[in-house]
A and B are shown apart, each in its own frame.
Chain A
Amino acid sequence: MAELHFHPLGEAAGRPLILRNGRVIDPAGKIDAVLDVLVVGEEIAGFRPPGKSDGLPPDAQDVDCDGKWVLPGLIDMHVHLREPGEEYKETVQSGTRAAAAGGFTAVACMPNTRPVNDNQAVTSLILAKARTGYARVYPVGAISKESKGEVLAEYGELKGAGAVAVSDDGRPVANSQLMRRALEYAANHGLLVISHAEEPALSQSGVMNEGALATRLGLAGIPRIAEEIMIYRDLALAGYLARPIHIAHVSTREAVDLIRRAKARGCRVTAETAPHYFTLSEEAVGQYDTRAKMNPPLRSRADVEAIREGLRDGTLDAIATDHAPHSILEKDVEFDAAANGIIGLETAVPLALALVREGVIEPARLVELLALNPARILGVEGGKLGVGARADLTVIDPERRFAYDSSRVVSKSKNSPFLGWELQGQPVLTVVGGQITCAAL
């Protein structure tokens, strides 16, 4: 395994970079060709036919990308960085380091910190920490104060401090009137509303997907309809109000179908799913393995197939990891007492590449799902390449295999069901604003 070399942001501007002979894939620019990419300062200075050396800055750092893919910097629009409040699980520093190792140049972090990110002080703290991190950070503010689902948070203040969206992720908005008001008021401030769709009266104390397996294990089930009913409600609200809405972590077949039909009738809905929902089924719970416990829970094999189809046909717009670090304090306990969530930043690229290898999606679609669409949905720069564009780049080696074990995990937490897997496809170079944040060449 190649060693990882990290460089935090905020260091002096790097030398010019010439990425040679890589397969450059940029769906926005309709590029899929072997090219050299020249980066000078913080920008992409140009694309050149491979092999030419004339006119290069003399101090340019030469990177051989033969056999590798050169992509717009990947953006994970759904992570939990745990800072402030739960720094023993993850920090902005450690989480963005894991992002850089996983090939991400930017992440959007959810507001369920302690205290909740429902005000400019928390948003500003996160952004201040991010200046010396390893990836761009886009804070997501809370829909309601303390995410209690009672009164709206101050969206103007959040937006002013740098929030790009609002969500009560982890705490579903049970009150339909509050969700209506959030969609209306967020539009005043140009903030996207991200829905964690779950009807809590139906999910109750459930800890895994409802079905024969949960019954066999004696575990309380979370029915599919807990997710689907809320997605239907949110689509109905967004359609009625003619406002955009983004549905987080879609996990069921019917949910994909609801979103597909809403899009067909012109509803401004976007949606994401996570690698575990297109890779694992509920069977991963095995004998009470808390590393397979998350919310929404892993579903049936038929759901996994439907998620893959949704990624293929464009119903699902983005792959986001829902990176949710937890320590052994929350995971090495009884299954029903264990915390929900798994880390995902460092496994997303190989798991998404498996979709390409298995013929589900084309490489250009992979870039849409992991870079272009997240940028468009969040309304942030990036997701595409172009002369003069910010030099956020990810280079991946689609062939390189590695054993994913806990010793190589960069995140502070090790709660992954993929530990012990042999994965194929590794990010080898992550560049943010012309500066290398992680290299594994």
Chain B
Amino acid sequence: MKAAHPFVHRHLLSMGDLSPADIGLILQVADSLKEISNRSIKKVPTLRGKTVVNLFFEPSTRTRLSFEIAAKRMSADTYNISASSSSTVKGETLVDTARNLEAMNPDAIILRHSSSGAPRLLADHLQATVINAGDGTHEHPSQGLLDLMTVKERKREIAGLKIAIIGDIAHSRVAHSDIIGFTMMGAEVRVCGPATLMPVGIEAMGAVVCGTVQEAVADADVVMALRIQKERQKDPLLPSFREYAIHFGLNPRSIAGAKPDALIMHPGPINRGIELDPELADGPRSLVLEQVTNGVAVRMALLYLLMGGE
């Protein structure tokens, strides 16, 4: 497989590190690799002999499994380290953990961590490729890419689309990667949520802040709900889930102003009936499971491009 556009990155830490051409290439490669997952023998030898370590300091089912399946379908050897089994419980620092892993010569480390910027710290200390699988409230670039892929499959073009993202914009790393990615590809991204969950200066990332869900979804091509958490530490962010569901929950009524064929997305896991009504989540316009399917393809493409498969 020869690409027209050279892919020069060694790590994927932030959506902002990529150019529109990079994103175009990743989606193109993902599209061509997607078919492998539909074969009866779901394996190609592309990354045979490569070692991929999943280093997860936060709980994750979907993302960790998605990366593991992606690596295995490309024939890489994969290993999983989770926070409970890692040495951090014994007081080892992230940098020391990384150096010890490095001593075993992995080709790529997939990191999920509760601290924003942790993948950058790792990349600064390691030779191996580092892929950010979600860091704090910063970014989740592979999720942003799979969202782009999923929308592009249905809509052909990203440019010109109206994307509404509803919910906890302040703490959602998915929202941050999506805002950067969709605006970079020419879409209009509107965000809406309780003002307590709207971060200062989000406009600077390219998003348009809307006061009501109705305003945000007006004529939208894509409506995305984010997972809501009632409290973080001692910060009184929301009075109740009940009130959130009434004013910011997505249901057929609240998104009535969107385009009739507007796509429904959610990065999961869903609080059913709070941020997303089951009628939408399970309805014909829902892409929730297609997002998960495409996650494997996008991660296969990332591993291939970043690890320089033959």
Contacts and interface: CB of A to CB of B under 8 A. Distances in A.
A88 interface: no
Interface in B189-212: 199-205
A58 interface: no
A214 interface: yes
A334 B116 CA distance: 8
B118 interface: yes
A398 to B, nearest CB: 37
B233 A205 contact: yes
Main secondary structure of the interface of A (DSSP, over half): loop
A211 B201 contact: yes
Residue from A204, A218, A287, A332 having most chain B Cβ neighbours under 10 A: A218
Contact of B200 (A210, A217, A288): A210
Contacts of A128: none
A216 interface: yes
B117 interface: yes
B118 A334 contact: yes
Nearest to A219: B116
A211 B93 CA distance: 29
Contacts of B259: none
B235 interface: yes
B188 interface: no
Nearest to B205: A216
From DSSP, what is the main secondary structure of chain B's interface residues? mixed
A408 to B, nearest CB: 24
B275 interface: no
Contact of A212 (B94, B139, B201, B234): B201
Q: Which of B93, B117, B137, B201 has the most CB of A within 10 A?
A: B117
Contacts of A336: 115-117, 136
Interface residues of A, number: 23
A286 to B, nearest CB: 10
Given A204-B233, A215-B199, A333-B94, A288 B204 contact: no
Given A217-B116, A218-B173, A334-B115, A288 B121 contact: yes
Interface in B136-179: 136-139, 170, 173, 176
Contacts of A334: 94, 113, 115, 117-118, 121
B48 interface: no
B116 A218 contact: yes
A151 interface: no
A138 to B, nearest CB: 36
A339 to B, nearest CB: 13
B201 A218 contact: no
Interface string A306-334: 00000000000000000000000000111
Contacts of A216: 16, 176, 201, 204-205
Contacts of B200: 210-212, 214-215, 221, 223
A288 B204 CA distance: 19
A237 B303 CA distance: 61
7 contacts: A204-B234, A210-B200, A215-B170, A216-B176, A219-B138, A221-B199, A336-B115
Interface of B: 16, 93-95, 113, 115-118, 120-121, 135-139, 170, 173, 176, 199-205, 233-235
Given A210-B200, A218-B117, A335-B121, 18 more contacts: A204-B234, A204-B235, A211-B201, A212-B200, A212-B202, A215-B199, A215-B200, A215-B201, A216-B16, A216-B176, A218-B173, A223-B200, A287-B120, A332-B93, A333-B93, A333-B94, A334-B118, A335-B115
